[in-house]
Structure 1
Amino acid sequence: MAGPTGLVLLTDRRSARRPLTELVRAGVDAGLRWVVLRERDLPAAERLALAVELRAILADAGGTLLVAGPDPLGGPAVHLTAAGPYPPPRLPLVGRSCHDAVELARLSTEDYVTLSPVHPTRSKPGYGPPLGPAGLRDLVRRSPVPVLALGGISSPAQVTACLAAGAVGVAVLGAVMRADDPATTVAALLTAAEKVSPATAAGPVDVAGSRPGRGGAR
């Protein structure tokens, strides 16, 4: 199962200016194809209902819903925290949040990671100073799997810088959640992502599994 590239949206209903289903639909209509459902604090039944709705919206456009933590639908794609579980579950697509070289060194069969925070952000306090493009580039080179840049990314110029540093895509939260016009914001960020070839900047990447030399089979 191919991993996420380009633009990935992380949900946060507390900062969203619209219901998540409306916001995700607007993003999908603008070209968004990857969404990570967070909302870990929702009661199980409510999270399940939300997952059903979001998965249907994405499926209609050929997109994918990744779930942070256990997937209430038992789907094929999950995104894990840096804290665990280790080893990761054996699923077609597994991602993990990482923040430094130590966490990257713990990876085993994961298919991709997010690296954060690249820029200052409200949603990533306590993880040390922002990486910046130079720090991101260094960790991308250390990562055995494709990297999504995350944290404080809100402009096309920042997207371009992250992909030029070797990320295969960017993950955003506040830029879209708090946007007056989420479709326009998604379209602008996607356009920037499509202008840069991360493989050229960071070396060859097999987004279906790994960088060369790392087995992606499950």
Structure 2
Amino acid sequence: MNGLYLVTDSGIAQQAGHSLPFVVEEACRAGVRWVQLREKELSTRAFVELGVVLKRITQTYGAKLIINDRVDIALAVDADGVHVGQDDMPYELVRSLIGPDKIIGLSINNMAELEAVEGADLDYLGIATIFPTGTKTDTSSLLGLDGLRAICQQTSLPTFAIGGINVTNIQSVLQAGASGAAVVSAICGQPSPYEASRELIHLTNP
């Protein structure tokens, strides 16, 4: 499986003239196999309805659907897993709710947070924030490639780097030790999400 991970942003998709289901289907058609549904503004009902649609799409292509933060939504749509941040529900509680077979990803922003989860029952880490980005405004501590490299060297878990990653820098992220790269604008905000995904996948598998 290639190391490209799509994190959705319906606002960015709409600005580019796309619906979120269109973006996700085009990305999956191009070969993306990790999709995180991240919606901070939707009502619970709308979130569930969107999750059901995306679950159908990801299932068709053999991709994993991960829900950001909302364990209830993940359970409601039978998603493949949940991604939580440092301020979200503790991962131990997430595990007890979703069971042993689902995927849990956790955001790590610095070395101290990594040390705090040593030996934890997690499936992957999201390492943030690598480069400046407009989609995540709380970039108080940019890691950069050196920070990413240091964290990757200290964990055996798969790592997805996120933050300002695009066609110009995705290879440098992988060279720094990340297992993969999570992108938002680099797919959601492009004229052709399919072509954008193809190019990014090609760069992750040169």
Q: TM-score range by the shorter chain?
A: 0.7 to 0.9
Q: Equivalent residue for 2:27?
A: 27
Structure 1 stretch displaced more, 42-51 or 129-138: 129-138
2:7–2:182 Cα contact (<8 Å) kept: yes
The separation in 1 between residues aligned to 2:159 and 2:9, in whole angstroms, is 21
1:118–1:132 Cα contact (<8 Å) kept: yes
Q: Equivalent residue for 1:56?
A: 56
Deviations 1:178-210 (A, max 9, x none): 101111110000011113xxxxxxxxxxxxxxx
Q: Equivalent residue for 2:89?
A: 85
Between the aligned residues of both structures, percent identity stands at: 29
Q: Which amino acid is 1:184 matched to?
A: E
Aligned residues: 191
1:54–1:65 Cα contact (<8 Å) kept: yes
- Check 1:5–1:94 CA distance in 2 against 1; reply closer, same or farther (3 A cut): farther
Structure 1 stretch displaced more, 99-108 or 164-173: 99-108
Q: Equivalent residue for 1:98?
A: 108
- Per residue, is there more helix in 1 or in 2? 2
Q: Equivalent residue for 1:36?
A: 36
The separation in 1 between residues aligned to 2:205 and 2:59, in whole angstroms, is 22
Q: Which amino acid is 2:87 matched to?
A: A
Q: Which amino acid is 1:121 matched to?
A: T
Deviations 1:112-131 (A, max 9, x none): 11111111101222233432
1:96–1:114 Cα contact (<8 Å) kept: yes
Q: Which amino acid is 2:181 matched to?
A: V
Structure 1 stretch displaced more, 59-68 or 138-147: 138-147
Q: Equivalent residue for 2:186?
A: 175
Q: Equivalent residue for 1:9?
A: 6
Alignment partner of 2:107: what SS? strand
- Check 1:110–1:123 CA distance in 2 against 1; reply closer, same or farther (3 A cut): same
The separation in 2 between residues aligned to 1:45 and 1:14, in whole angstroms, is 18
1:31 Cα deviation from its structure 2 partner: 1.0
Unaligned residue ranges in structure 1 (runs of 5+): 196-218
- Check 1:74–1:12 CA distance in 2 against 1; reply closer, same or farther (3 A cut): same
Q: Equivalent residue for 1:193?
A: 204
1:88–1:94 Cα contact (<8 Å) kept: no
- Check 1:185–1:75 CA distance in 2 against 1; reply closer, same or farther (3 A cut): closer
Q: Which amino acid is 1:84 matched to?
A: D
Unaligned residue ranges in structure 2 (runs of 5+): none
Deviations 1:52-108 (A, max 9, x none): 111111111111100012113243411111223222422421001111112112222
The separation in 1 between residues aligned to 2:198 and 2:78, in whole angstroms, is 31
* TM-score (normalizing by structure 2): 0.86
Q: Equivalent residue for 2:174?
A: 163
Deviations 1:152-194 (A, max 9, x none): 0011x41111111111100000111110111111000001111
Matches within 5 A, 1:92-131: 92=101, 93-107=103-117, 108-131=120-143
Q: Which amino acid is 2:79 matched to?
A: G
* TM-score (normalizing by structure 1): 0.82
Alignment partner of 2:195: what SS? helix
Q: Which amino acid is 1:106 matched to?
A: A
1:110 Cα deviation from its structure 2 partner: 1.2
2:2–2:33 Cα contact (<8 Å) kept: no
